[in-house]
Structure 1
């Protein structure tokens, strides 16, 4: 009983420490954003006169309205297509007894080891030869391809644990493979699909490297990518830079807080299936 209490208190202390390590940087960023423009605040220093207008100034200076529209268009171009392709491929390599499914899956796993930095140079020349530089397609199309290894790996983890009897029962009722996929397996895979959608949204919204390398016009980048141009203009104004960073982080934080229960449920479902 004493050992159990010690373990419980140790776990709680670790969680509190982890929470502080995670929250304190955001609190410091928020406090700094409220200081007068042009000052150099130190640490967790609450200003005597909070400058809430810094958020409005940062929003206008970085043209956040245009960036918000651009980010939404890029997300709408990446996430639905990636979800569809990843779900279909995960179903094929995880549930269907297709020929060569193991080598195909190993190729997707190999794609997980490729860092963005290692392929950015050939990717730049390929996008240039396609005539897509300085357009949103220069971000959308590469991201769909780069997200496929993880997306297929994620969805396969779900479909490989689905009992084959479900497909056999649907086949007896006259459903072909396409009908089995849409009417039986996709509804059962919604927790995995929704959690993957959250991850893809977060990764697309926060995409920085491809946005600054492949797109010159800040208005056609993601909000995170355009933050680099904002930093170049307002890099010496720490409060405005912090305000702009918080504005970029706000949508992803809101989405995660809204859908965190669904995301955690999908993770627990995967752990229970083993």
Structure 2
């Protein structure tokens, strides 16, 4: 009985995720006159809706901007989070606990509370309306979660590994790069995917800190696209699919590593 309930719950969870995607995809293939497509496959699919949405919203430049920001944020954030997480898990100073608690306060800091000060600070240093205006704040905003994630991973590792490295005369840097990092690939892959998804979906910072519409992210461009074609449901659905497709493909490609990284702490 328990087995059947488990399978039923998994089927319900899968359906709750897949049905909305299928509904959006079917709506994107409907004619423009259909204002309430629902979950119905059209008899004559209008594939040209994707081309129309692509050219009307200028998704070529918007997707490029999202990619530049994500590619800039992910490696910098991974390196800093790994170094800070390693330091937080190995340093024996009394300030480790208070310092980590202070860092975790950043998890409760909303974007809305910092975007106005960021605007004036970035303008004063000449970074406003550049990709760095979004990359640098996102790196700082992502640090609390990244440090927490990597610290938890390093603390879950057997202490015998680092102790054996110290006895063999390995430095802290050598211990990190040759012993701990090879075992941290699932955790780093998962964190990198989360960073990429959060950077790709960035809306508020890109909308306020970048004034050039062509340099804004795809979600920010999609918001303007909604204002222009608010009554054209098929075109809006096509634009939504264009924006979410890179994230979905990246997740499917790294799915095994992502799930392994999520479950790694529980298994240990």
TM-score clears 0.5: yes
SS of 2:156's equivalent in the other structure is coil
Match of 2:20 among 16, 20, 25: 25
CA shift for structure 1 position 39: 3.4
Match of 1:75 among 70, 77, 80: 70
Q: Write out per-residue CA displacement over residues 76-125 of structure 1, whole angstroms, 9 at most, x where no aligned residue.
A: 11000000000000000012324511111111211111222233232333
| Corresponding residue for residue 30 of structure 2 | 35
Match of 2:257 among 235, 241, 262: 262
CA shift for structure 1 position 65: 1.6
Match of 1:163 among 155, 158, 163: 158
User: 5 Å matches for 1:91-106?
Assistant: 91-106=86-101
SS of 2:46's equivalent in the other structure is coil
| Corresponding residue for residue 147 of structure 2 | 152
Q: Write out per-residue CA displacement over residues 106-146 of structure 1, whole angstroms, 9 at most, x where no aligned residue.
A: 11211111222233232333223332222211110100000
Query: TM-score of the superposition, structure 1-length normalised?
Result: 0.92
RMSD: 1.6
Q: In 1, distance between residues paired with 2:76 and 2:65?
A: 17
Q: In 1, distance between residues paired with 2:64 and 2:105?
A: 34
Work out whether residues 202 and 252 of structure 1, in 8 Å CA contact, stay in contact via their aligned partners in 2: yes
> What are structure 1's unaligned runs of at least 5 residues?
none
SS of 2:45's equivalent in the other structure is coil
Match of 2:197 among 194, 202, 205: 202
Q: Which deviates more from structure 2 when the two are superposed, residues 143-152 or residues 16-25? A: 16-25
| Corresponding residue for residue 134 of structure 2 | 139
Q: In 2, distance between residues paired with 1:247 and 1:95?
A: 44
| Corresponding residue for residue 112 of structure 1 | 107
Work out whether residues 195 and 262 of structure 1, in 8 Å CA contact, stay in contact via their aligned partners in 2: yes
Q: In 1, distance between residues paired with 2:183 and 2:140?
A: 25
Q: Write out per-residue CA displacement over residues 3-31 of structure 1, whole angstroms, 9 at most, x where no aligned residue.
A: xx1x2222222222222222222111111
Work out whether residues 30 and 37 of structure 2, in 8 Å CA contact, stay in contact via their aligned partners in 1: no
Q: Write out per-residue CA displacement over residues 29-73 of structure 1, whole angstroms, 9 at most, x where no aligned residue.
A: 111111123531331132221100111111111222212221221
Q: List structure 1 runs of 4+ shifted beyond 6 angstroms.
A: none
